Amino acid sequence: MNDGLPPQMGQSLLFLTDEQLRKGIEAMFFAYRGFTADPDRILAQKSYGRAHHRAIHFIHRSPGTTVNNLLSILGVTKQSLNRVLRSLIEDGLVASTVGQRDKRERHLHLTAAGEALERELSDAQRDRMRAAYRAAGPAAVAGFRQVLEAMMDEETRHHYETIRDKPE
Partner DNA sequence: TTGGAATGTCAACAAAGCTGACGTATTGTA
Partner DNA sequence: TACAATACGTCAGCTTTGTTGACATTCCAA
Which residues of the chain form contacts with DNA (CB under 7 A)?
47-52, 54, 66-68, 71, 75-86, 96, 99, 101-106
152 binds its own copies (CB under 8 A): yes
- Closest alpha carbon to 51 in 71, 31, 65: 71
Are 72 and 39 spatial neighbours (Cβ–Cβ below 8 Å)? no
Alpha-carbon distance of 18 to 4, in angstroms, equals: 9
Minimal distance, residue 69 CB to DNA, in Å: 7
Residue 71 or 129 having the CB closest to DNA: 71
Q: Which is nearer to DNA, 17 or 69 (CB)?
A: 69
Candidates 29, 79, 90, 112; binder of its own copies (CB under 8 A) is: 29
Residue 81, binding choice from its own copies, DNA, none, Cβ under 5 to 8 Å by partner class: DNA
Which of residues 6, 9, 34, 113 is near its own copies by CB under 8 A? 34
CB 99 within 8 A of CB 106: yes
H-only helix segments in the chain: 18-45, 50-61, 67-74, 78-90, 112-136, 138-151, 154-164
85 contact choice in DNA, its own copies, none (CB below 5 to 8 Å, kind-dependent):
DNA
